[in-house]
Structure formats: structure tokens, C-alpha cells
Amino acid sequence: MEKGLVLKSTGSHYRVRLDSGEILDCLIRGRLRLKDIKTTNPITVGDWVTIEKTNHGTGLITAIDERKNYIIRRSTNLSHEAHIIATNIDQALLIVTITQPETQLAFIDRYLVTAEAYRIPTIIVFNKVDLIDSTYQNVLNGYISIYEPIGYKCIKVSAKTGLNIDLLKQTLQGKVSLLSGNSGVGKSSLINCIEPQLNLKTAEISNAHLKGRHTTTFSEIFELSISGFIIDTPGIKSFGLVDIKKDELYHFFPEIFKLSDKCKYYNCTHIHEPGCAVIEAVDKGDIAPSRYLSYLGIYEDDNQKYRPKLK
């Protein structure tokens, strides 16, 4: 038996790097697959696993180590199941673009809520700033003015011009970092700037709809020459939340949680109660309207009623 890190998952096959440095293609042992794991992927990128070698130069995964954390979303086509994106993460970098394509604020907020719920520090990286003209500059400034005051570091970069790529490298150094975002925001291009020898496949934006095309099919982890690891993930169209109870949702909006103890009622939902400090802050402009609308939207999401139990 040997320990190894899951580098890539294709659903049923896994590429695992053993402690010895050897890389094996592995399957899950049948008994492990039968465990009651209510996710579409019982093992994922970032997992540390126990491997039993076979006589065919492959391996069988016989056990999964306890996870430090993970980030998860509701499966796109299976609303009653969840999909774990990656595990054992030090930080998440959410790649955002103001144009070509436009990242919606509601998507950003849903991602941040999940990261907060699983205690994963998140940095918002604004890519393609070389495309920003005077009109879009105001939009970019508006986005940053929402997230920096509530504690999210924002970095403006350009994979095309190399702007702030050195700063991005410093941010990644020595950490296990997850890169996420909509299709077309330039995750693979940024990774190529950071680690050119990887030469990941990239694609142009569709001119017809200004939407991104998937170039990353499966999540994969890469070791960085500057030390650390980076996890590249397929583009996400939407981010469905799981395992977050309505009465705890406000905990994962830092600016709402900060004011919650000033509300008149201890069990305030921050939606309709008199004497709600959060509603007063929204009215005064101290909480961004877009953030409060995201809170309301997630709170009223019927799909929140399903909360899968995760191993």
C-alpha cells in the first residue's frame, strides 16, 4: 500500500502521483465505490488516497484520507446530487472578467458564500483588463468597491499583456490554489503565463454570443516551479449551493454577519423584521444592493431545501 495525491479525475479513472514520484492510472476498488457518498464524484482532485498496485502497472484506490476542506456545488443536471470541485485547498482564486464574457455579480456572490462556508480564503482576480475602456472602467471600479471593503483582496491582471502576473505568482507561491470562473475568463491562459511549460489549451471567445468555450474538460492539479500547486477547473456556468441552511446563510456574507448582533431580534432573518440593522445599512448604502439581492435570492432558493450529507 502507498499514499498518493489525485492529480486528475475523469469520473471513473484517476491519475495519482505516489509519494515516490511515480504516476499511476487508478480505479476505485468496488467496495469503496459502494459507500453511501451522495456526490457525483466520491474522489476528486486534491484528495490524498491509499493505493494498491496491480500486476498491470495500474492501481486501485482503497481508501481516502480525511479532507481538510473542499469546495462544492450542486450538479448541473442532477439537482439532488452535489459535485465536489476540489479538496484540501489553501486558497481559491475566482477569475472574473468585466467583458468578453461578463461575470455576473450573483455568480460571484454564490461562489463566495460557498468558499466562506468551507473556510476557504478567496481572492478575486480581474482578468482581461487590457480590454477595459472608459465605460468598462467604471464597471470594474464598481465591482472592486463592492468586494474590497468587505475583505476580499482584488487583483487586476492581463494574461495578454502580462500585467501583475508577477504579483499573481507571489500570491500562489507555496500554496494549493484553486482557479475557478465562468468559461472564457482566461483561467488556462493565466496558468500558461505562470507556468509556460504546461502549454494548456486555450480558445477564443465566441463572437456570436461573447461566451467562453470550454477548454478544460476535467479538473487537474499542476505543481508549480515556484513551489505550490494550482488546480485548473472546467468553466462553470452557474453555481448551485448545497449544504447551507437558511438560518445560517447570513454567516457567509461578512458584512451582514458583522451587523447581525445589532438587530432588534436575535433570530432576525434580515428580510422583513423591524429594527433590522442589516436592512438599515442597505437603505443607507453601507451594504451594496447587489450583495443584499444575492442574499435574498439565495435565501428564497427552493433548491436550498435539499442538503446532501457529505462524507
User: How is residue 126 written as a grid cell?
Assistant: 480581474
Q: Is residue 99 part of a domain?
A: yes
Cα(311)–Cα(39) distance, integer angstroms:
9
149 and 207 share a domain? yes
Cα(122)–Cα(152) distance, integer angstroms:
7
204 and 114 share a domain? yes
Among 178, 200, 232, which residue terminates a domain? 232
59 and 162 share a domain? no
pLDDT reported for residue 12: 79
pLDDT in tens, 120-163: 999 999 999 999 998 899 999 999 999 999 999 999 999 999 99
Q: How many domains does the chain have?
A: 3
pLDDT reported for residue 219: 87
Residue 96, domain CATH: 3.40.50.300
The Cα-based distances of 22 to 1, 5, 11, 184 in angstroms read 14, 11, 21, 33
Q: Which domain holds residue 15?
A: 2-64
99 and 8 share a domain? no
- The structure's pTM equals 0.88
131 and 227 share a domain? yes
Cα(32)–Cα(206) distance, integer angstroms:
42
Cα(87)–Cα(309) distance, integer angstroms:
16
pLDDT reported for residue 211: 46
pLDDT reported for residue 77: 57
Q: Is residue 240 part of a domain?
A: no
Q: Is residue 91 part of a domain?
A: yes
100 and 195 share a domain? yes
76 and 54 share a domain? no
Among 232, 265, 290, which residue terminates a domain? 232
Q: Is residue 309 part of a domain?
A: no
For the chain, residues with pLDDT lower than 70 are 31-38, 75-80, 201-217, 238, 302-311
pLDDT in tens, 61-104: 999 999 999 988 876 555 567 888 899 999 999 999 999 999 99
Residues 32-44: b if buried by 16+ CB within 10 A, e if exposed: beeeebebebbbb
β pairing state of 14-18 and 2-9: antiparallel
Residue 21, domain CATH: 2.40.50.140
6 and 57 share a domain? yes
